[in-house]
Structure 1
Amino acid sequence: MTGWFEQAIVSTGRLPLFAFFVSVIAGFVIARISTRLIRANVRWWSRNVVVGDVHVHHAVLGIILMLISGVTGLALPAELVGWRTAAAAVFGLGAAAVLDEFALILRLRDVYWTAEGRISVDAVFIAVAITGLVLLGMRPAGLDDFVAAAGGGTVDEWIVAVALTAVNLTLATVTMLKGKVPTGLFGMFAWPVLAVGAARLARPTSPWARWRYHRPGPRPAHKLERAVRREHRIHRPLRRVVTTAGDLIAGRPSP
């Protein structure tokens, strides 16, 4: 195990990324344990941080940690791997705190323990999963071609790099507009998944469905009907499983 870690993580320069990955997971677990204990009014645990009449959310602390560690990591020389790894770990803790309150930032109101707050858990899961893919050495389609072209590539290599990247981003955008955000993000690392996501029906509440399936005519109406059936048959049962798992990890929203 030590040999694999040395070969796959340390020697490839991914130690700071590994520290970030572990810190995001640890920071999210710590944040959720803390908020659940506060919610349960456990007497021996701390309470919410309040300055005057302002409740200071832990996303504020996260932003401060990200700014300090991010600037520090950028300023450190590349040979100071240990310090850069420490900065990445602190950045991961800050990112976890911010992502844990992603729904609050998105909605601009405190929805932490509501159903709307589930999006924060989704954001953390997606961030951890994508970081894990990069940590394992996967790259978005076209990135390696860009790196090769930047190293003195020919015009043909630049054309290939730009074309692959453009196709990848276009498919990802279409997929996410169809309401399949995780598929769009993960598919950037595996273009066949992205192609399938972009080609299949949009989810009925997605922007794509509003633009394309609510127009006059039998064809858009038929597509909308199929999308609704698919939503009930596939997406809702899958969402229930994901929601149950999220509740076990992050806590059930208030009724």
Structure 2
Amino acid sequence: MGQWLERNIIEPGKLPLLLALGAFVLTFVITRVITRLIRAGKGPFGNVTAGSVHVHHVVPGVILTVVGGFGAVASGGHGSGPYISAVLFGMGAGLVLDEFALILHLDDVYWSEAGRKSVEMVVLTAALVGLLLAGFAPFGVNDLSQQELQNRAGALTGIAANFGFALIALSKGKVRLAVFGVVVPLVAVVASLRLARPGSPWARRFYRRRHRARAKALLRAYHHDRRWSRPARAIQDWLGGKPDPS
């Protein structure tokens, strides 16, 4: 284990990223445990207020993220500064993304159906950072040979192509696959070749007169959602808590 850590994390300079990811996940887990205890009326915890204002934990999250980010820049990569800054940044990001839905809707939707977006964003972020730790690079730069990297035009063409596939996947309504495709280009390629989700910009633009393609897209989306929506919701409820009944 020690040799693996030295060879794959410390030598490539990924220890700050690992610390940030660990702090991010741990902060999210602890925060969700505390908020669920507050919701159930158990334990010594309670909402933080300043007068009549409910101070959401996104506020200290923003502060920690700013301190960690500027601390990392100011440290210059020397000493213990990058590691401390990485932990602070990870903690702040965990607090901020745990209330991503609040930022998106500008409303306290933490325990509503809309609040599921926070859990989705946390899981997505953790997965992407995990891929970066595993050695994947955005837009498939690591898939280019040394000669291609030396050829600036070839490298830029490869990056642009991968970015284009990710954009097509995004326009087809496959947001998660498009985001993962930024790090793993093959995912974006596959997503860009498959049928678009109904209601997506691609479907509205190109399926308007293609009735067969539109019907096929609707049928595929129906079967996909019917198969995966319940397991996905169960995992979200297990991670973040079940939303209040509407």
1:58-73 map, 5 Å: 58-73=57-72
| TM-score, normalization by structure 1 | 0.90
> What is the root-mean-square deviation of aligned Cα atoms in Å?
2.0
Give 1:86 deviation, angstroms.
1.4
Indicate conservation of the 8 Å contact 2:139/2:163, yes or no.
no
**3-state secondary structure, aligned to 2:20:** helix
**3-state secondary structure, aligned to 2:139:** coil
Counterpart residue identity of residue 168, structure 1: N
Measured against aligned partners, the alpha-carbon deviations of 1:76-114 in whole angstroms (never above 9, x if no partner) come to 13221x321111011001001110111110111111111
Give 1:147 deviation, angstroms.
11
1:190 corresponds in structure 2 to: 184
**3-state secondary structure, aligned to 1:57:** coil
**3-state secondary structure, aligned to 1:168:** helix
1:78 corresponds in structure 2 to: 77
Measured against aligned partners, the alpha-carbon deviations of 1:125-168 in whole angstroms (never above 9, x if no partner) come to 1100000010111112353489979x9x4xxx111111111111
For structure 1, list consecutive stretches of 5 or more residues without a partner in the other structure: none
Counterpart residue identity of residue 68, structure 2: S
Indicate conservation of the 8 Å contact 1:70/1:91, yes or no.
yes
Counterpart residue identity of residue 87, structure 1: S
Distance 2:85 2:145 in 1: 26
Shift of the 146–70 alpha-carbon distance from structure 1 to 2, 3 Å rule, reads: farther
Counterpart residue identity of residue 229, structure 1: L
Q: What is the aligned length?
A: 245
Distance 2:199 2:118 in 1: 20
Shift of the 11–175 alpha-carbon distance from structure 1 to 2, 3 Å rule, reads: same
**3-state secondary structure, aligned to 1:187:** helix
2:45 corresponds in structure 1 to: 46
1:1-255 map, 5 Å: 1-42=1-42, 44-80=43-79, 82-144=80-142, 153=150, 157-213=151-207, 215=208, 217=209, 219=210, 221-255=211-245
Indicate conservation of the 8 Å contact 1:63/1:98, yes or no.
yes
Distance 1:107 1:210 in 2: 25
Give 1:34 deviation, angstroms.
1.0
| TM-score, normalization by structure 2 | 0.93
Shift of the 45–148 alpha-carbon distance from structure 1 to 2, 3 Å rule, reads: farther
Q: Which runs of 4+ in 1 moved over 6 A?
A: 145-149
Distance 2:140 2:130 in 1: 19
For structure 2, list consecutive stretches of 5 or more residues without a partner in the other structure: none
Counterpart residue identity of residue 101, structure 1: E
Indicate conservation of the 8 Å contact 2:71/2:81, yes or no.
no
Indicate conservation of the 8 Å contact 2:140/2:184, yes or no.
no
Give 1:202 deviation, angstroms.
1.0
**3-state secondary structure, aligned to 1:20:** helix
Distance 1:209 1:50 in 2: 46
